């Protein structure tokens, strides 16, 4: 089974910062990964699919990249609404999450 490992577990940043979250797959099965944002008490929402495709309605400050076993999510010009937990996913496996906190 694929294991997805995210780093860091927590990231402290300020409004306007550029942040990059990473995700590593335990094996290379597909070049695709997805990213989700989750806020407390809410269901996750899809941000990125097929590694770099922005889900409709998601702001362009979100972008994804990667292939093989290494994937990343970058948020440029961090906004107050972006402080949340982010999960990567490949096939049926989810990473453990990265919480983006206010510095």
Partner 1 sequence: QMQLQESGSGLVRPSETLSLTCTVSGGSLETDSYYWDWIRQPPGKGLEWVGSVYYTGTTYYSPSLKGRVTISIDTSNNQFSLNLSSVTAADSAVYYCARENWDDLDDGFDVWGQGTMVTVSS
By CB under 8 A, name the binding residues for partner 1. 1, 30, 32, 34, 36, 42-46, 48-50, 53, 55, 87, 89, 91-97
Burial of 63: CB neighbours in 10 Å, binned 0-12, 13-18, 19+:
middle
Are 20 and 78 contacting, i.e. CB atoms less than 8 angstroms apart? no
Q: Which of 65, 75, 69 is CA-nearest to residue 37? A: 75
Smallest gap from residue 14 Cβ to partner 1 (A): 25
**Closest distance of CB 53 from partner 1, Å:** 8
Closer to partner 1 by Cβ: residue 32 or 83: 32
Q: Which two tokens stand for residue 4?
A: 């997805």
Q: Compute the least distance from the CB of residue 1 to partner 1, in Å.
A: 6
Chain Cα centroid distance, residue 60: 14
Query: Which is closer to partner 1, CB of 14 or CB of 42?
Result: 42
């Amino acid at each position: 089974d694929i294991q997805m490992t995210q780093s860091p577990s927590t990231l402290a940043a300020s409004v306007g910062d550029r942040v990059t979250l990473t995700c590593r797959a335990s094996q290379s099965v597909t070049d695709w990964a997805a990213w989700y944002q989750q806020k407390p008490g809410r269901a996750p929402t899809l941000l990125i699919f097929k590694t770099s495709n922005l889900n409709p309605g998601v702001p362009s400050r979100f972008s994804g990249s990667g292939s093989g076993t290494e994937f990343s999510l970058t948020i440029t010009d961090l906004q107050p609404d972006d402080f949340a937990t982010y999960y990567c996913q490949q096939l049926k496996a989810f990473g453990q999450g990265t919480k983006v906190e206010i510095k």
